[in-house]
Structure 1
Amino acid sequence: MEDLKREVRRELEEMLAGLKINSVVAVGAEAAIVDACWGGNRVIIKYRYRKLYRTKILDNYLRSSRTQHEAKLLLRALSVGVSVPPVLFMDKNRGILVIDYVKGVILKDVVNTLESSKLERVFKSLGANVGRLHEAGIIHGDLTTSNVVLTPEERIVLIDFGLGEFSNELELQGVDVHLFLRILESTHTSLSKILYQYFIKGYESIRGEKTKLVLDKVSEIRMRGRYVASRRRNIQPRP
């Protein structure tokens, strides 16, 4: 992993003149996240580094298309009033996406430290922002409290649209909300019910009557999951 981080650092410094890397924050299977200063600004770079196990043609295509797609999602989200980091630069051929640095903390890390009134404001705001996404035909794809930054001004910022897509499909909107509910139940168990209520109130403030359709879909998805789990328990292995 350290070798890969060094390689990421070396490649980015070669490709972006004047780049000063503060740290390679994370390296995942899809991309590296880098905290840096560039052009006088503190930025976050999402770098889809080369995968040597893929053919060069396929690798170039995937890195380029995914980088461009994520940039389009962020730009569209910003244009409809969703709180996301602005895109500052993109080089799709090199798999580089540069976004503005957002000062703050990851919401997951501070939920248990926030007083109830702040939790209500934060999760209603989060719900409203997700409502704007869905109203604009954008699916986040990985809606968790790990992908939300809470700024010192208590503004929420949605990050990491790497699994996002453009769609008005009710099923996908339901999957987005269902995933968020599951994360609340597994990560913020004691607060999950009230946080989800706040979230849905914010969501409903944007989507109105469409909210019921999404919640019905969430219930349907949960029932499917329970059915599958029940079937698995009832299947006895053959001797």
Structure 2
Amino acid sequence: MAGVARIGMGAEAVIEETDYLGLHAVRKTRVEKGYRHPVLDSRLRASRTKNEVRVMRDARLSGIRTPVVYDVDLHEGSIVMEFIEGTRVREIIENEPGRIPEVCRMIGESVAKMHNAGVCHGDLTTSNMILTPAGELCILDFSLGATRCDLEGKGVDIHLMERAFSSSHSQATEAFGKVMESYMANVDGAKDIAKRVEDIKGRARYT
């Protein structure tokens, strides 16, 4: 493809569809914040870009599908990565109920692999997951992720994912339960994580 087309704009970054050495790609660029000192802003954008790439790398090494990173520019605060073809999981859950059990099984397995490798995502919504034409579940946007993820981080990941499911897929009430069946069957320390999730829910009710 030729040229650059903006496909997303958030509070933290601009997402553009582009070409990289003949490969269909996406460029994610963290936007400058005018209210911050320029030196601090540059350091923060570089640090957060570096962290996102590190988390993506570790997630990929854990065995889950993530976009391949082609190029990183810390000065610009940008990442050029593989463009993932496929269907957002959010659309599948909303429009293809027959595929929900298998997709939810894949989500549970993928999150368990990440957590077993000490990786937390930080924003596990179905908008950040794509099912590729090859039948792979690809997880996107590790900007809030972390490596060396502890029990609390895993519990927060699950709690936030449950909230995302309940707000986005109220018509598919069994979907998150199927995710958790798969997750609990594959994650290390399942009982401890389940207890921590309940602790986090209890805290959330009083904040």
> What SS does the corresponding residue of 1:26 show, helix, strand or coil?
strand
Q: Pick the aligned partner of 2:119 from 133, 138, 141.
A: 138
- Residue by residue over 1:94-129, the C-alpha shift from the partner in whole angstroms, topping out at 9 and shown as x without a partner, is 11101101001221123122233x211111111111
> What SS does the corresponding residue of 1:138 show, helix, strand or coil?
coil
C-alpha distance in structure 1 between counterparts of 2:185 and 2:67, whole Å = 23
Structure of higher RCO (CA pairs closer than 8 Å, 6+ residues apart): 2
Q: Does 1:223 align with 2:205?
A: no
The answer to whether the 8 Å contact 2:66/2:138 transfers is yes
Q: Which runs of 5+ in 1 are unaligned?
A: 1-17, 229-239
Letter of the 2:132 counterpart: T
C-alpha distance in structure 1 between counterparts of 2:32 and 2:47, whole Å = 14
5 Å-filtered alignment, 1:47-66, equals 47-66=29-48
Q: Does 1:176 align with 2:120?
A: no
- Residue by residue over 1:209-235, the C-alpha shift from the partner in whole angstroms, topping out at 9 and shown as x without a partner, is x1121111111222222344xxxxxxx
Q: Does 1:89 align with 2:71?
A: yes
C-alpha distance in structure 1 between counterparts of 2:100 and 2:142, whole Å = 24
- Residue by residue over 1:35-60, the C-alpha shift from the partner in whole angstroms, topping out at 9 and shown as x without a partner, is 11121011011111322332121011
Q: Give 1 or 2 for the bigger CA radius of gyration.
A: 1
Change (3 A) 1:132 1:42: same
User: What value does the CA root-mean-square deviation take over the aligned residues?
Assistant: 1.7
C-alpha distance in structure 2 between counterparts of 1:168 and 1:67, whole Å = 18
5 Å-filtered alignment, 1:78-117, equals 78-116=60-98
> What SS does the corresponding residue of 2:172 show, helix, strand or coil?
helix
The sequence identity of aligned pairs, in percent, is 31
5 Å-filtered alignment, 1:200-239, equals 200-208=180-188, 210-228=189-207
Shift of 1:168: 3.0
Normalized per residue, which structure has more helix? 1
Aligned to 1:162: 143
Q: Which runs of 5+ in 2 are unaligned?
A: none
Runs of 4+ in 1 over 4 A off after TM superposition: none
Aligned to 2:7: 25
Letter of the 2:57 counterpart: L
5 Å-filtered alignment, 1:145-156, equals 145-156=126-137
- In the alignment of these two chains, the number of paired residues is 207
**TM-score, structure 2 normalization:** 0.93
**TM-score, structure 1 normalization:** 0.81
C-alpha distance in structure 2 between counterparts of 1:92 and 1:205, whole Å = 39
C-alpha distance in structure 2 between counterparts of 1:156 and 1:114, whole Å = 16
Letter of the 1:94 counterpart: E
